Amino acid sequence: MTLGFAIQLVAITVLALIGDPSGTAVVTAGIPMLGVFMFAQGFGPSAHIMSYASLGFPTPMRGVSIGFNQAVLRFGSTLTLFFFPTLSAGLGTHVYLLILASPPAFTPGVKAISGRF
């Protein structure tokens, strides 16, 4: 799973550095990077998302944890559906830099809420 995250990090960084493709060579590099990002999602984070909810809690709480995990996952997907086009229109290709900055920005808050340091 860590390999999937690492490959996604590399792919999104390359997409951020490419920015607005202006030539055939840049487009030719950008399209495979988008494919690599989606491929890494399939065998990395996406493949194991339910493992966290099912194995991270005691048996009596697993049903609730899986339901909560799915609710948060679908809520995030819905927010992305509505806000990504707006962010993309406003920020252009710099939206990839925002995506790269999001996990480090939210990690301290998530750790504070969960009580784990």
Least confident of 7-11, 66-70, 106-110: 106-110
57-88 pLDDT, tens digit each? 788 888 887 888 788 878 988 888 888 888 77
Going by C-alpha positions, the residue among 57, 17, 7 that lies closest to residue 37 is 7
pLDDT for residue 1: 61
pTM here is 0.56
Residue 11 has pLDDT above 70, yes or no: yes
Residue bearing the bigger pLDDT, 10 or 109:
10
pLDDT for residue 117: 46
Are 97 and 88 a contacting pair, CB within 8 Å?
no
- For residues 5 and 100, give the distance between their C-alpha atoms in angstroms, rounded to a whole number: 12
As a whole number of Å, the end-to-end CA separation of the chain is 22
Residue 112 has pLDDT above 50, yes or no: yes
Which amino acid, residue 50?
A: M
Where does residue 45 rank: exposed (0-12), middle (13-18), buried (19+ CB within 10 A)?
middle
